[in-house]
Amino acid sequence: MHDTLLLFGATGDLAQRYLFPSLLRLLTDGLLAEDFRIRAMALSAHDTDAFHDILRPRLQQAMPQAPIEDIQSLLRRIDYRSVDLRDVDSVADAVSDLADRRCVSYLAIPPGLYISTCEGLAKGGVLAAPHRLMLEKPIGSDSESAEQIITTIAQWIDEDRVFRLDHYLGKAAVQNLIALRFGNTLLEAVWNRNYIESVHILVAESEGVDGRDAYYARSGALRDMVQSHILQLLCLVAMEPPASLEADRIRDEKVKVLRSLRPLEARTAARDSIRGRYTAGSINGQPAQAYQPPEGSEVETFAGVTAHIDNWRWSGVPFHLVTGKRLPERTSRVVVTLKPVTHWLFERPTRSQAAPNRLVFQLQPQENIQLGLMSSLAGPEWGALELQPLELELSVPTGLHRRIAYERLFLDAFNGNHALFVRDDEVRAAWAWIDSVADAWKAAQLPLEPYPAGQWGPAEAATFLPQELEAAARGDKA
């Protein structure tokens, strides 16, 4: 196990809210090396004591139940350095004294700083074997910038020591997609175009752009969420069974899915996609301001795309990918809708009114699985020919201790397990498809449709949403 973490961006929101609390939990549970050390680095001109004073209340807030001695134990392992990440020598000077340890460098910084920071790490001697590198998404902002980052960093560190994060892959509920698909005959037997009508993947956020204006003005919903989280979920739903659970066998199958995605074309962009931006509204009775990007920015806060996977298993099955900010609730779900039975025998409801069988994987805010069936048990006992929808709850037991995503990802990187990280060819394939969508939008001059904060996107987005949200998106009251 590697014993030293070089954490860049240590004063940022990601590090303060998630990374340091995750390290505290791992330390409390005895899962870090006995002599584990953290060098925290950012531009702010703090010394170590001042940084401890900033971090201590954040840890207490994140883990109010943590014994103060555990917090103090973590703080004793942390020293802080002020570093200019655009200055190669500044980075090298900040890390070179740790080159004799087994270091993992974590770049919780904008991708525009990756190359200069990694050059400094290489000059400081902490990218040579056996040192490792963790990179936060996004890797670039399009295919060209991603390729530049990948090829430049490859000069200094081998691919098998690079760990590219998409924190969704660290979520237990996301990993469970693999377990459910490949561990159950009932599902794998019908997991193809012969039985599945459509797939919806929804990642909805109730929060706005607040605090990320500079980044979001360059990225938008397509590059921020579809390129990473949603395409990773699509891969887990659609990939072929890997030969084993070894990291590269899983990632091989994910790449095949991404390379099978049909590029979006300008002539079908209006039919197969939608983009929107939230205006003023309210969420849970609280007013929400409209998003006002910098002048000239055309970024969307809502994106819906119907993707088609051109291979044998999924030919003809639409994958509706949707994400948005300032939606009514924070939720992530995968909805698999099965085709209707071949011959309908029952009087009520009519065939056209029968609810389809659906399998719903709720990933957040809580983990839950629902199987929607038609059953006479849900109708009157004297009406054996009258069927009603019946939802079978397959939710996981409450109270289970589940590690948050970053805890799992830290452990895997410290121990060298790549299965939950993104390989370089995955990044390239994902950006290639995202670029086709962005190019189609530009060529078709696809407009930004407004939607009030607190609604399920523009009214035109209804057809991209799971069935239970269609009426709400259209504004129906029933």
How far, in Å, CA of 290 to CA of 329, rounded? 17
With tokens 């919903």, the residue in question is: 221
Question: Which residues 6+ apart lie within 8 Å of 143 measured at CB?
Answer: 428, 431, 432, 435
- Dmax (CA) of the chain: 81
Question: Which residues 6+ apart lie within 8 Å of 76 measured at CB?
Answer: none
- How far CA 121 is from CA of 126, 148, 422, 471, in Å, comes to 5, 17, 21, 53
How far, in Å, CA of 46 to CA of 43, rounded? 9
Here the tokens at position 209 are: 């752009």
Q: Please, is 314 exposed, middle or buried when counting C-beta atoms within 10 Å of its C-beta (0-12, 13-18, 19+)?
A: buried
Read off the DSSP letter of residue 125: T
Q: Which run of H or E residues covers position 235?
A: helix 231-238
What's the half-sphere exposure (Cβ side, CA atoms, 13 Å) at 228?
22
Here the tokens at position 461 are: 């987005």
Instruction: With beta carbons less than 8 A apart as the criterion, state whether 211 and 13 touch.
Output: yes
Pairing of strands 132-136, 162-165: parallel
How far, in Å, CA of 383 to CA of 202, rounded? 37
Here the tokens at position 25 are: 């939990």
Q: Which run of H or E residues covers position 215?
A: helix 213-221
Here the tokens at position 13 are: 């929101």
How far, in Å, CA of 434 to CA of 89, rounded? 35
Active site residue 229: yes
- How far CA 30 is from CA of 73, 139, 285, in Å, comes to 12, 32, 44
Strand, coil or helix: 202 = strand
Here the tokens at position 477 are: 């009251």
- Considering the candidates 131, 229, 320, 418, report the single residue annotated as catalytic: 229
Sign of CA dihedral 265, 269, 272, 276: positive
Strand, coil or helix: 343 = coil
Here the tokens at position 82 are: 């002020």
Task: Give the residues across from 82 on adjacent strands.
Answer: 42
Catalytic residue numbers read: 229
